[in-house]
Structure formats: structure tokens, C-alpha cells
Amino acid sequence: MRRPLIVGNWKMNKTASEAAAFIRDLRERVPASPHAEVVLAPPFTAIESARNALGPSSYFSLGAQNVHWETHGAFTGEVSAPMLCDLGCRYVIVGHSERRALFGERDEHIQMKVRAALRHGLSPILCVGESLVHREAGRTESVVTAQLSGTLEGLTTQDLATVTIAYEPVWAIGTGRAATTEQAVTVHRSIRLFMETGWDSKTASAIRILYGGSVTPQNIESLLASDSIDGALVGGACLDPDSFATIIEFAQTARA
Ligand code: PGA
């Protein structure tokens, strides 16, 4: 059974001191549970204060929102995997649609980022998803499949053991218009089938596939009711401790 995973993608929100206050609040609201895993992905500048606020044996894991593929060097403004590991990160989000659309990231960059993360023991959370134009043209599956093959090609089954896939339809992100559970399930099934065809059924059934795009305390229960959906990548609703705690609570009971 795949353990549900909830990832809070803070995007460019919260200073280091706001992060510490938020985490103290969240910790009081969320009891530890073996039935779901929770990752917080603050901006780079707040990772250290988040780590301090979490304390040494926290229920929450830390993640970053991006990583460069090289370990060090003349890459102004970038942050490497060893730097993130040193700050206590265990996860990193790669290929988010905002990185693709606003910062020109293409599959070949994302593939290098996935590989860099794996080399250094960080678990990549790989984002894929179609635009509204692609969906309306009936191209959802082919777009998502092309993104997967462009970023995961050549990885071993061992590599894939620590990869998480997040299906995030671009039209659902930050719009308040989440995909329906049926729409998400259809794509999640095609992703699992792609993994089975490209690797094997063991890999396909073990990999976690999250849904992301306007996840809220109101729609999380329905999404997690499907055994095709292994958790959520949450943007807007993760910034409010009450909403995020509610989402986590649903995940903790979904497969308990
Ligand atoms: P949203 O963002 O929950 O605000 O739609 C999700 C994401 O971009 O990961």
C-alpha cells in the first residue's frame, strides 16, 4: 500500500521569520501519524529557519522548490543538491509548471535536475501536466507521457523507487478550478500504465502519484477516496495553517 503524501509548495511566500511562526502553529495542530507523510517546501531563504522550527525529530520533512543540476560553480542565483541536503532537505520539487512557463525550463533541464537530486539522495517530486489548450485538443495523455519520457528516460527501477510524480494540470493551478476526481484518476491511470510499459509492474505499482491544482480542504477527501491518487501537491491552501492541517488530517485517515 502506498502511504499518502501531502506536499506544501509555499512558492515565493513567507520570510524566514514568518516560516518559523507558521511551523510552530502547524505543529500544534497536526499530530504525528504513521498513515501519511507530510513535506513542507518553503523558499530557499526560509529552509533553515523552517528546520529549526521543526526541531530534530519532526513529523514533517523538508523539501525545496527547485535545484540546479551541477554541484557547485559559476551558476549565479542557483542552488545545488548538496546545499539542500546540508540544510536537511529530503525532497525537491522539479519541473513545476511555473518553472516551465515562466523560467523556460524544458524536459532536458528537468531530466538533469531529477538525476542530480537522485545522485545526492534527494527524492524528486516530478511535476507534469497539460495546458487547457492541450486538454481541449484531446492531447492530455500524449503531453503528459511526453513529459514523463523526456524526464525519466534512462532511469533504473532503483532510481524510480524514490521518485514521486505530481500530476498538475496547468489550468487547475491557482485557478480555484480543480480537476474532478474522475479527470485526475484517468490521467493517474495512464501515468501508471506508462511506468509499467517503460519499466515494470512492480515499479508502476510502487510509485506515488500525487494530484495538484487547487486542492482545498473541500475537495481533498474526494480526491483521496480514489486509490489511484496517493496524495496532493498543495499551493495556495498550504499557506493557511488551518486549511493545511485539515488537508493533512484527511490524508492521515484516507488509508489508515
Ligand atoms: P494551487 O498550486 O494549489 O495553488 O493550485 C498547486 C501547485 O502549483 O503546486
Q: What is the pLDDT of residues 20-68, one digit of tens each?
A: 999 999 999 999 999 999 999 999 999 999 999 999 879 999 999 999 9
How many whole angstroms from 200 Cα to the centroid of ligand 1?
A: 30
Q: Would you say 116 and 83 are in contact if contact means Cβ atoms under 8 Å apart?
A: no
- The pTM score is 0.98
How many whole angstroms from 36 Cα to the centroid of ligand 1?
A: 20
> Per the structure block, which three cell numbers stand in for 121?
539522495
pLDDT for 1 equals 82
Ligand 1 atom showing the smallest separation from residue 176 Cα: 5
Among candidate residues 37, 98, 105, 168, the one labeled active-site is: 168
Tens digits of residue pLDDT in 119-165: 999 999 999 999 999 999 999 999 999 999 999 999 999 999 999 99
Measuring CA to CA, which residue among 169, 204, 220, 183 is closest to residue 6?
A: 220
CA angle 204, 63, 249 (to 5 degrees): 75
Calculate mean pLDDT across residues 222-238: 98
91, 131, 165, 168, best to mutate for ligand 1 pocket (most atoms within 8 Å of CB): 168
Among candidate residues 96, 109, 120, 134, the one labeled active-site is: 96
**Residue recorded with cell 485539515:** 246
| One-letter-per-residue 3-state SS of 76-138 | CCCCEHHHHHHCCEEEEEECCHHHHHHHCCCHHHHHHHHHHHHHCCCEEEEEECCCHHHHHCC
How many whole angstroms from 214 Cα to the centroid of ligand 1?
A: 6
Tens digits of residue pLDDT in 82-126: 999 999 999 999 999 999 999 999 999 999 999 999 999 999 999
132, 171, 214, 243, best to mutate for ligand 1 pocket (most atoms within 8 Å of CB): 214
Provide the phi-psi class of 186: left if phi over 0, else alpha when psi is between -120 and 50, else beta: alpha
**Nearest Cα residue to atom 3 of ligand 1:** 235
Tell me whether residue 96 is one of the annotated catalytic residues: yes
Ligand 1 touching residue 214 (CB < 6 A): yes
pLDDT for 57 equals 78
How many whole angstroms from 213 Cα to the centroid of ligand 1?
A: 5
Q: Would you say 251 and 223 are in contact if contact means Cβ atoms under 8 Å apart?
A: no
